[in-house]
């Protein structure tokens, strides 16, 4: 039985050989007989170019299926063509996703998945860069740190071009393990390379971690912005208020970002009426995300560092531009672009594509630049950790408390 694709190719071949081509596209009708074309020239040229483009791809697939030494899989080849199309754009954040990869991303957005618990991105040298391990996950327990680079997984080399495949391997059944070969840059500039075995678990991402410090100072750490974060933040905030909180530390350190609506909703709690952020597309289309006139009247310090990225920087930029909070720590990551995720085709695949850049209320795009703190404080290398659990060695949090004690 002749496949539909081969049948169409046979028709095209016959048409070319007889020099008589009739095509119908929407409401456009074209007849070509010899040198005569009954169609506007620009429309005919466009259709001819499209035919030639797809003919090249189809010819390559036919040659591979006929001559390639090993078995071929047409579906895999087609997916590879789609992946290559987006990869050619040169943007590590723009990707074609298989059905499995798309489903995994949707699970991450919802706040749970099975894996090791680490946020990664592409580094400047095309390696897989750890933005931050997720708190209380196998990745953190295994000692992975912000700035580490994953160069091999289970002995196989991976680059940033293969980041989706790397994620797929690192995820898996709880109770199983994966071996990561990590490259870490030391303070003296030297590199250490070591293998780290990480056990997979069911990861339920707890994005909010609250605590009450001395002097009625509340503390809320936001580890990422997913669908539940704003709701959980409000619950934690109200609980701290009921305990007498009158000043607040919001900890965005090592928060790699997430959903814009979530960070805008939390920022809106503390900002007066105005712009939280706005995005702009290539076509110049602008979308504004605004806060209303209702605002909690409470002194705030935001803690930031090099692991604070994307949606974290939206909040940090908004709070800084409007002088609503004091920023303490180190310069943020510098991701000032927005990706749109959407389903694609009928087989469950998806596309993640960079579609716009975002700006702070003052009109600043921080992509590749980051946001500077109002007060720079470097966390010492010998710090046991960060957050209220490690208050004795967390000098950034200590500085936040000091600043808040001086505020009325």
Shared domain for 271 and 195, answered yes or no, is no
Shared domain for 119 and 222, answered yes or no, is no
* 79 DSSP assignment: H
Task: Please say if 187 is a catalytic residue.
Answer: no
At 343-386, the pLDDT tens digits run: 987 788 999 999 999 999 999 999 999 999 999 999 998 888 89
- Which residues face 302 on adjacent strands? 250, 327
Provide the token pair at 285.
Answer: 């289309």
SS3 114: strand
Shared domain for 199 and 214, answered yes or no, is no
The whole-angstrom distance between residue 181's C-alpha and the CA centroid of its chain comes to 23
Q: 313 lies in which domain range?
A: 208-406
For 321, what's the count of Cα atoms within 13 Å in the CB-facing half-sphere? 22
Shared domain for 189 and 262, answered yes or no, is no
Of the residues 291, 310, 312, 356, only one is catalytic, namely 310
In a domain, 104, yes or no: no
pLDDT, the chain, mean = 88
- Which residues face 301 on adjacent strands? 249, 326
Q: What is the pLDDT of residue 112?
A: 72
- Considering only CA atoms, give the Rg of the chain: 26
SS3 3: coil
Q: What is the pLDDT of residue 2?
A: 44
In a domain, 116, yes or no: yes
Shared domain for 317 and 194, answered yes or no, is no
Q: What is the pLDDT of residue 330?
A: 98
Give the E-state strand segments of 168-212 in sequence order: 177-185, 191-199, 201-204, 208-212
Shared domain for 213 and 146, answered yes or no, is no
Task: Please say if 268 is a catalytic residue.
Answer: no
Shared domain for 156 and 214, answered yes or no, is no
Q: What is the pLDDT of residue 209?
A: 95
At 33-81, the pLDDT tens digits run: 566 656 677 777 777 777 777 787 888 888 999 999 999 998 888 888 8
Task: Please say if 98 is a catalytic residue.
Answer: no
Of the residues 335, 352, 394, 399, only one is catalytic, namely 335
In a domain, 81, yes or no: no
Count of domains in the chain? Answer: 3
Shared domain for 136 and 169, answered yes or no, is yes
In a domain, 83, yes or no: no
Q: Which helix (H) or strand (E) holds 128?
A: strand 128-133
Shared domain for 200 and 212, answered yes or no, is no
Residue with the bigger pLDDT between 136 and 144: it is: 144
At 191-239, the pLDDT tens digits run: 999 999 999 998 877 899 999 999 999 999 999 999 889 999 999 999 9
Shared domain for 30 and 141, answered yes or no, is no
Of the residues 321, 352, 356, 394, only one is catalytic, namely 321
In a domain, 106, yes or no: no
At 268-313, the pLDDT tens digits run: 999 999 999 999 999 999 999 999 999 999 999 999 999 999 999 9
């Amino acid at each position: 039985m002749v496949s539909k694709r081969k049948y169409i190719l046979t028709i095209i071949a016959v048409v070319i050989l007889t020099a008589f081509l009739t095509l119908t596209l929407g409401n456009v009708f074209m007849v070509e007989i010899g040198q005569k074309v009954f169609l506007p020239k620009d429309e005919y040229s466009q259709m001819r170019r499209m035919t030639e483009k797809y003919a090249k791809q189809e010819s390559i697939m036919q040659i591979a299926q006929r001559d390639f030494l090993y078995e071929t899989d047409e579906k895999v080849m087609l997916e590879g063509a789609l992946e290559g199309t987006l990869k050619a754009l040169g943007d590590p954040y723009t990707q074609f996703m298989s059905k499995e990869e798309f489903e995994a991303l949707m699970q991450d957005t919802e706040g749970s998945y099975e894996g090791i618990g680490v946020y990664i991105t592409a580094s400047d040298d095309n390696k897989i860069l750890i933005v931050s391990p997720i708190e209380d996950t196998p990745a953190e327990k295994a000692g992975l740190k912000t700035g580490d680079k994953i160069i091999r997984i289970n002995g196989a080399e991976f680059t940033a071009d293969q980041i989706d495949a790397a994620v797929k391997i690192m995820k898996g059944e709880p109770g199983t393990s994966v071996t990561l070969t990590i490259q870490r840059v030391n303070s003296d500039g030297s590199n250490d390379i070591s293998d780290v075995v990480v056990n997979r678990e069911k990861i339920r991402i707890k994005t909010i971690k609250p605590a009450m410090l001395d002097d009625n100072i509340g503390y809320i750490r936001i580890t990422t912005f997913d669908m539940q974060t704003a709701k959980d933040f409000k619950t934690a905030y109200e609980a701290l208020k009921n305990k007498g909180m009158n000043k607040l530390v919001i900890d965005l350190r090592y928060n790699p970002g997430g959903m814009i609506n979530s960070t805008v909703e939390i920022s809106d709690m503390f900002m007066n009426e105005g712009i939280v952020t706005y995005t702009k597309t290539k076509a110049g289309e602008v979308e504004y995300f605004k806060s209303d006139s209702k605002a909690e009247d409470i002194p705030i310090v935001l803690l930031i560092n090099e692991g604070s990225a994307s949606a974290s920087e939206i909040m940090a930029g908004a709070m800084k531009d409007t002088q609503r909070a004091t920023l303490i720590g180190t310069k943020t990551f510098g991701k000032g672009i927005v990706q749109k995720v959407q389903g694609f085709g009928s087989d469950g695949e998806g596309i993640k594509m960079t579609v716009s850049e975002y700006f702070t209320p003052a009109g600043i795009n921080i992509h590749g630049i980051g946001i500077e703190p109002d007060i720079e404080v470097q966390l010492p290398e010998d710090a046991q950790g960060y957050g209220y659990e490690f208050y004795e060695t967390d000098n950034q949090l200590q500085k936040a408390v000091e600043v808040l004690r001086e505020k009325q």
